[in-house]
Amino acid sequence: MIPRLTDAERAALVDLLPEWSLAKDRDAIERRFAFADFSEAFAFMTRVALLAEKHDHHPEWSNVYNRVTILLSTHDAGGLSARDIRLAEAIDGLA
C-alpha cells in the first residue's frame, strides 16, 4: 500500500506546487492550464501522457478546446501520495 501524504507534507505543497490546489471533494490536487488553441492543448496532453507512462502514474483530466484540467490522486493509496507530487513537478517542468 502506498502511503498518503502526511500533514507536514501537505502543508509544504503551497510552496512546492504553487500552481496546484487541493481539490474540493477529493484527496487530490488539480491545476488548470490554458493554451492558444486546441492544437496546443492537445500537444501538451500528448507530452503529459508520455510522462505519465514514464512515471507509471496517470492523471484524471479533461479538455475543452484550449483548456486542460488535470487532477492527480493515487488510486492505490486512496488519496494524495508522493507519486502525485512527483508527477505534478514533472508536468510543471513541461508547462
List contacts with ligand H2B (CB under 6 A).
56-58, 74-76
**To the nearest 5 percent, what fractions of the chain are helix, strand and coil?**
40, 20, 35
Supply 49's cell numbers. 501522457
Closest contact distance (angstroms) between CB of 62 and ligand H2B is 15
Least Cβ distance, residue 52 to ligand H2B (angstroms)? 8
Residue whose CB is less far from ligand H2B, 39 or 46: 46
Which distant-in-sequence residues (6+ apart) come within 8 Å of 83 by Cβ? Answer: 2, 55, 57, 74, 77
- Shortest distance in whole angstroms from residue 56 CB to ligand H2B: 5
